[in-house]
Amino acid sequence: VPRRPTLRDVAERAGVHPGTASRALDPALPGRVTEVTARRVREAARELGYAPDPIARTLRTRRSGLIGVLIPDLMNPVLPPIVRGIEETLWDAGRAVVLADTDNDAARESTLLAELQARRCEGLIVATATRTSEAVRALAGGDVPAVLVTRDVDDADLPLVAGDDAAGVMAAVDHLTGLGHDRIAYLTGPLELSTTIVRLQAYLEAMSSSGAEPLVRHGEAFTAAAGRRLTAELLDDRDDVTAILAGNDLMALGVYEALAEAGLRCPADVSVVGHNDMPFVARLQPPLTTVAIPQREIGGAAARALLRRLDGGAADADLRRLLPTRLVVRGSTMRRP
């Protein structure tokens, strides 16, 4: 059986000692070896099709080249682009991505975090944080660098990369007030998520600066079902609402359903705005006006932030990196009737 070649084979063929071959092949150390031997070794390596064994290297150097990526649920449409951005950036940097999905389960979160570390991941990218996750907070003190994506945890000095949701929500409120709306309701996601809080806060600020009275309903989850229930309740209580800002696009889907059920038209009777610009919302009827988030870039930026840290970068240089969002105006908003 033609075993894959080791450094020893290369050294033998080049007529040098394995140690020398190792030095010759290490690009970080030019001048540690004669140019002529370096050439001989490289040649032998090429002829043999030699590739260093990452496992053996890791055992020696303690660097595995593995980055753990923890996500809440890959089937949530916002995540694939983020994971994609992370993954392409890390592969390009010679790292491999170990993906783990918590299924939105806190217990699973801490299990998987431990598992990822046990498997010697050099760094962690975490998209599952709730404001109170202890397991995530503990990462701040730990010895494996971690970066949070999208979701932040309270009171921990962990770097975060996310979209500038606040700016997006403010733009959405401005858009609606610009269209003459002032009875604008906001439907939140679960309060244990930082994204919910950030968006809600922005809504409240924008409303107060426009002098309009805020109107908030809290949802138990970022789902269409929650959006639908909240909207139905809202319409029962108040018949003067002319615009609804949904915590995210999934909830906006539920808003559409509830409006249709109540015999209200969108946007003729009620304008609707979502958040995230997930795939295909432009193809809904009506096409959804929403806050677009640069998901893939967020993933890439998170990966780069982690790489910087792994290369000994300053730990405090780039806490809280917010990437620009933008309001995409489509057919679900119009001038107040």
In the complex, least distance from residue 298 CB atom to a second copy, rounded to whole angstroms: 14
Give dist(CA 256, CA 313) in Å, integer: 47
Is 145 exposed, middle or buried, given 0-12, 13-18 or 19+ CB atoms closer than 10 A?
buried
Tell me, residue by residue from 49 to 88, as one string, x for binding to DNA by CB under 7 A and - for no binding: -x-xx--xx-xxx---------------------------
Give dist(CA 170, CA 165) in Å, integer: 8
Q: Which of 23, 120, 218, 326 binds a second copy (CB under 8 A)?
A: 120
In the complex, least distance from residue 102 CB atom to a second copy, rounded to whole angstroms: 10
- Single-letter amino acid code for the residue at 241: V
Is 46 exposed, middle or buried, given 0-12, 13-18 or 19+ CB atoms closer than 10 A?
exposed
- Nearest Cα residue to 147 out of 118, 167, 132, 126: 126
Question: Of these partners, a second copy, DNA, none, which one is at the site of residue 34 (CB under 5 to 8 Å by kind)?
Answer: DNA
Helix (DSSP H) and strand (DSSP E) numbers for the chain: 12, 12
Q: In what order do the strands lie in the sheet with 184-188?
A: 215-218, 184-188, 243-246, 271-276, 289-292, 326-328
Report if residue 141 touches a second copy, rule: CB under 8 A. Answer: no
In the complex, least distance from residue 20 CB atom to a second copy, rounded to whole angstroms: 22
User: How big is the site for DNA, counted in residues (CB under 7 A)?
Assistant: 28
Q: Which of 27, 28, 31, 51 binds a second copy (CB under 8 A)?
A: 51
In the complex, least distance from residue 71 CB atom to DNA, rounded to whole angstroms: 28
Give dist(CA 196, CA 107) in Å, integer: 22
Report if residue 18 touches DNA, rule: CB under 7 A. Answer: yes
Q: Can you give the binding site for a second copy, defined by CB under 8 A?
A: 51, 53-56, 58-59, 64-66, 73-75, 77, 79-81, 83-84, 87-88, 91, 96-101, 103, 112, 114-116, 118-120, 253, 256, 279-280, 283-285
Summarize as ranges the residues that interact with DNA (CB under 7 A).
Answer: 3, 6-8, 16-20, 22-23, 25-26, 31-34, 36-38, 50, 52-53, 56-57, 59-61
